[in-house]
Every structure is written in C-alpha cells, then in structure tokens.
Amino acid sequence: MDDFHINILADLLTMSPSEMMVVLPIGIIVIILLLGASGFMSGSELSFFSLTPQQLLQCRNSENKAERNIANLLSNPNKLLATILIMNNLVNVSIATISNYLMLGVIDEHEGQGLEIFILTIIITVLIVFFGEVMPKVIAGQKAFIVARIAASPMNFLNKVLSPFSWILMQMGVLIEKIVKKKGYQVSVDELHEALEMTTNSEETTSEEKEILKGIVNFGTISAKQIMQARIDISAFDIEMNFHQLIEAINHTGYSRVPVYRENLDKIEGILYIKDVLPYIEENEDFDWRTLIRRDTYFIPQNKKIDDLMRDFQARRVHMAIVVDEYGGTRGLITLEDIIEEIIGDINDEFDTHDLAFNKVDSSNYTFDGKTSINDLCKILNVEPNYFNEVKGESESLAGLLLELSGRMPRVGEKKRYRKFIFTVIATDKKRIKTVKITLKDTKA
C-alpha cells in the first residue's frame, strides 16, 4: 500500500463517529453510482456485440446521431472492447477500494474484525456480479439495439478519451498473441466419425440422412482415383469414325458427354457433348463431326482430392475430367455426378447399371463385380473407408485388392481372408477378376 492510501486510511481510522456518519452515506452513494456504471459497461458490451448484420447496415446508412455513433464504434471493435474493459475494471476496483476504506473506518479493531471483513467482501462481490454483470446483460440481451442506442454517445466519448490507453492494451494483446501462438486444433476424420455416431443414434435420424452425413465427413479425404471409372471401363469415340458410326455409338453408350481419342485412350483429343450433335442428326456419313469436339479437356492427377475437384468443376463450368498418371497416361475418367454420389448416394438413370454391381445373397454373403471400387465396397459392407488401407496398396478396386492379397492372379474358387471377411473368386478371364463372393465371418476381427 503506497503513502497516499495509507494517509487516507489513517484519516478514516482517526475520524470521530459524527464525521464518519457524514462520510458513510456519501461513500454508499458513490458505490451505488459505481455499480450503475459497472452495469452500464457490461450491458453496453453485450448490446454492441449482439447487433445483427441488418441492424449494423441500418446504422451505417442512418442519419440518426446515436446510430451513426454505433457504426463508428463498431468500425473498430477491438478498440471498443478495450475501452469497455478498462472502464469496467476501473469501476469495479474503485467499488472494492471504497468499500474497503469505509469498512475499516466503521469497524473497530476487535476480535471479530476478520469475520466481518470476509462477510463484507462476499456482499460486495455479490452486488458487483448481480448489478454489474448479470442484470444489465439480461436486459441488454433482450433489448440490444435500444441499449446500444442509449449507450452510443457516452461510449463514443469514452472511446476518444481513453484512446491512448486502449491502444496500449491492444498492442499488449498483439504482443502476447505473438509470443504465445497456439496452433489451431485439427479435428481428425476418426473423431468426426465418432461424433457422427454419437449424434445419429437417435431414431429421428433416417439411414439416408446418416449416409449423407458420412459422405460429407469423408468428402475431403477421397481422391479422384478412388471413385473414377477405370480406363478399361471408359466409353470413348475414335476420332476416325464416320458420322453414321458415331450416331450408332452414341445410341449404344447413352452418355451426354463422351471423350474422343486418336489411336488410343492415352491420346484424348477432347470431349464430345451429345447436345452439340443433335442439330446435325440428319446429316450424311461424310459430315465432319470433329468440328464439334470441345478441345479444352480438363486433365487432373489421380491423387487430386474430390472437394478441390468440385470447386474446379464449378469454376471451369465443366462436368468431366480425365484422370492421368505421372507419365501422362490415361488412368480413368471422373464426372461431377461421381462426386455428388459420394455425398447423396447413387444417382441412377435409365442407362445406369450400378444396381447390378453387387448382390446381397443373405446377411453374411455378397457377390461383387471385380471392378467395384474399394470406396463403394466399404459403404456396402458398412465399414470405415480406410478399412482395407493396410493391404490394398495402390489398388482402388475389389479386383486390385484381391491381387494385393494374393500376390498373383488368383484362380477360380481360391479364397483369401482379411480381418472379418472371406473373399472367394467366382469368375475370371485371362486378365481380370470378374466376380468375387464376400462372406462375413462369425468371429469378430
């Protein structure tokens, strides 16, 4: 305690009872006024920072002085907050200090002084919390715009007067933030899955809604090669076709956009939009349809994440990309529909045959087409997307997974086990595994 406070305390302790009777009411009135000021600051803080964007826009465009002051104050919210904090702390410290001086002036030195000081401290704390924090914030929360308009002019004045102190406080905050820089917490996909399981156990959540939420959680982790159509499954047109051959191929494929190649799929010339062909449907076979090819083909690396790819599709206003490997060879094809299906599930039209890709024999047995993607396989088997990561290597299809497990081309009837599943090869040709049976084992992995 410095000499100034010691002298004041000495004066209070040496006051006569009559002098104390004069000082005490004045002190109580000052404390009440300070409690009002504390409540004003707390209510102002909540009201200013609770205004809606529409109310802020109204203030910016208003001719009303109070509303213009609100807009001016909130143009630098950090400075406003610093001003409020300085005033609030100054007022609260003043309340505690004056209460302490009054208490020491009234209470004689006797055995119960310690208990009386403790009780008075509790009373002052309750008064500050209730009248200086709780009650004004309840009122300000219900009438934020009205309170902000009332507080605008006084706060604008205080904001100017305390500007040097606010600046110092803000600079200290910036310095501390630089010294104690905390990295943002990164939520893992596994944690998101756990949170999803906790929030979707309710009967109100349908299975379709759960699948959509799972698709959203996994969306940023899926690469193009996981969901693309493999090279061997791409429908494409040879640029050397005549027009009648092209029309026949269009009728056979049923797609609205088809790649066009020269010699082989590693030499993609562009994309043919079927809608561009329709006006010329009656032309003879010598019609040069190659002028209709759109040459601005979008090529992407196979490890590109589909969330980035979707943004690229939107920016470029295209619906298809050719997936290439590190040597520029064509690995596959991916469309906007493939990406959307990762969130909302399969989108089937009259040309889709996805429903033939697998068959559920019973609760423990499935048959799958070998070209089924591992990503789709995990969805159907209701396991995590990374369930086969330890053994799948670079493969992205069920057939590739079996090749990784076997280390060679497996024979028909050959079985492979991994965790809780048994894989049985049902049909093959010389180069591909065509059909696989998957059985869920009784024992849990």
Instruction: Work out the average pLDDT over 251-261.
Output: 88
State whether 59 and 170 are in the same domain: yes
- Nearest C-alpha neighbor of 233 from the set 394, 434, 377, 409: 434
User: Measured between alpha carbons, how far is 66 from 78 in angstroms, rounded to an integer?
Assistant: 20
Same domain, 153 and 12: yes
Domain span at 194: 183-220
> What is the DSSP annotation of 322-341?
EEE-TTS-EEEEEEHHHHHH
Single-letter code of the amino acid located at 24: L
Query: What CATH number is associated with residue 417?
Result: 3.30.465.10
Say what the pLDDT of residue 173 is. 78
Q: Is the dihedral of CA 391, 397, 402, 407 positive or negative?
A: negative
309, 339 Cβ separation under 8 angstroms: yes
Asked if the structure places residue 349 within a domain, the reply is: no
Q: What is the average pLDDT across 278-305?
A: 89
Q: What is the pLDDT of residue 148?
A: 87
SS3 50: coil
In sign, the C-alpha dihedral spanning 251, 254, 259, 261 is negative
Q: Is the domain of 173 the same as that of 197? A: no
**Order of all β-strands in the sheet with 257-262:** 237-238, 257-262, 264-273
Cα–Cα nearest to 373, from 350, 354, 359: 354
207 plus 94 within the same structural domain: no
Looking at the structure of the chain, the number of domains it has is 4
Residue, of 286 and 117, whose pLDDT is higher: 286
E-only strand ranges, 274-374: 299-301, 320-324, 330-335, 358-360, 365-369
Question: Model confidence over 406-427: pLDDT tens digits?
Answer: 888 888 888 888 888 999 988 8
User: Is residue 352 in a domain?
Assistant: no
- Domain check: are 170 and 226 in the same one? no
Could you tell me which residues come within 8 angstroms of residue 240 by beta carbon, excluding any fewer than 6 positions away? 262
Q: Are residues 325 and 267 in the same domain?
A: yes
Q: What is the side-by-side strand order in the sheet with 330-335?
A: 229-230, 330-335, 320-324, 299-301
pLDDT digits (tens, 9 = 90+) for 98-133: 777 776 666 554 445 567 667 777 887 888 888 878
Using an 8 Å Cβ cutoff, are 82 and 161 in contact? Answer: no
Looking at residue 332, which CATH number applies to its domain? 3.10.580.10
Q: What is the pLDDT of residues 311-350, one digit of tens each?
A: 888 888 888 999 998 888 899 999 888 888 877 766 655 4
DSSP E strands in 195-274: the ranges are 229-230, 237-238, 257-262, 264-273
Q: Is residue 350 a part of any domain in this protein? A: no
Report pLDDT for 204. 59
Same domain, 303 and 202: no
If asked whether residues 291 and 431 sit together in one domain, one would say: no
pLDDT at 133: 81
pTM value is 0.46
For the chain, the average pLDDT equals 79
Whether 388 and 406 share a structural domain: yes
Judgement on whether residues 24 and 149 belong to the same structural domain of the protein? yes
Name the nearest CA neighbour of 84 among 43, 52, 125, 138.
43
Secondary structure class of 438 (helix, strand, coil) = strand
Tell me the pLDDT tens digit for each residue of 182-208.
Answer: 555 555 656 665 666 665 555 556 666
Please check whether residues 76 and 173 belong to one and the same domain: yes
213 and 138, same domain (yes or no): no
Domain boundary pick from 121, 151, 179: 179
- Which tops the pLDDT comparison, 296 or 4? 296
